[in-house]
Amino acid sequence: MLRIATRGSALALAQARHVATLLGGAELVEVVTSGDRRRDVEDKREWVAEIESALERGEADLAVHSAKDVPATLPDGFVIAAVPPRASPYDALCGASGLDALDEGARVGTSSLRRAAALHALRPDLDVVELRGNVDTRLRKLAAGECDAAVLALAGLERLGRADAAGAVLEAVVPASGQGALLLEAHVEAAEALQAARTISDPAAERTLAAERSLVAALGADCRTPVGAHAREGADGGLGLRAFVGRVDGSEWVIDELDGFDDPAALGAAVAARLLAAGAGEML
């Protein structure tokens, strides 16, 4: 039986169980990462490094990550083994039926710079307040009145059976690269795991994720930079990518989009070049 390395949060376990089901059964190996131990995670490596060590030591065969939490380049020796069919990439607004429904100066909770930049760009009057912790903690703080509304990933709410908490889907906010997608990682020599993972990979999810990750890599962005990237496969099979870079205070932003590409990496690089030409470099 394949062994899946996963973080121990409720969301990570739900995702790992989902993948185990897709694979027809797998054993879960829980790994505590430095991201789980710290309050202020500055580097996405903190979510994945200990999990990669477990793969390297042969304690697990596959890792299941939220694609959003995985750095744009994997360390030598590790590969993307699969990207299962993707859930919604969008952010949800909890605690209100839409941004228009929020009072002037309402306190909206998030600790994401991308979400703060987008909220300020759309509604300069909003008071964006720190809201940390896992999904349940953030919903609890919202219910306790620490903020009037909060922005969370719709996919995370759905995976925890809390989609009822979403008052609106924020389609105007460009999602984070990888949001709503799962990324299965393996050691390049784990032939059996790689072969099993292939069977549950979705070509459209692989291609959209590759385009988004290539944009983030080209911009040199990470989780401390306000960058959004959302790729879609058109009906004709062509790939499109929409991306956002903005200042956290909402004073400046650029948003751009290209369609009709065949090669995901070329699409990510092309959109990144346009953003940089429009001044994104100074905002990063």
Compute φ and ψ for 110, nearest 5 degrees.
-170, 155
* CA-closest candidate to residue 198, choices 85, 84, 82, 80: 82
Give whichever of 28 and 270 is closer to ligand PBG, judged by the CB atom.
28
Q: Are 114 and 228 in contact (CB under 8 A)?
A: yes
Of 86, 147, 213, 223, the active-site residue reads 223
CB of 152 to ligand PBG, least distance (A): 4
247 included as an active-site residue: no
H or E element that contains 151: strand 149-153
The answer to whether residue 86 is catalytic is: no
Which position among 37, 103, 125, 132 bears the catalytic label? Answer: 132
Would you say 68 or 213 has its CB closer to ligand PBG? 68
For the bound state, the minimum distance from the C-beta of residue 264 to ligand PBG, rounded and expressed in Å, comes to: 19
Which residues of the chain form contacts with ligand PBG (CB under 6 A)? 66, 68-69, 135, 152-153, 155-156, 179-180
Q: What are the tokens at 127?
A: 């008071």
Check if 68 is active-site: yes
Q: Smaller CB distance to ligand PBG: residue 6 or 261?
A: 6
The smaller minimum CB distance to ligand PBG, of residues 111 and 284, is found at 111
Shortest Cβ distance from residue 214 to ligand PBG (Å)?
19
- Which tokens is 35 given? 């991201």
Residue 107 annotated to the active site: no
Q: How far apart are CA 103 and CA 101, in angstroms?
A: 7
Q: Which tokens belong to 31?
A: 């790994």
Per the CB < 8 A criterion, the answer to whether 45 and 1 are in contact is no
Report the SS3 class of residue 109.
strand
Taking CB positions, which residue lies at the least distance from ligand PBG?
A: 156
Least separation in angstroms between CB 68 and ligand PBG: 5
CB 139 within 8 A of CB 165: yes
Report the catalytic residues.
68-69, 114-115, 132, 138, 223
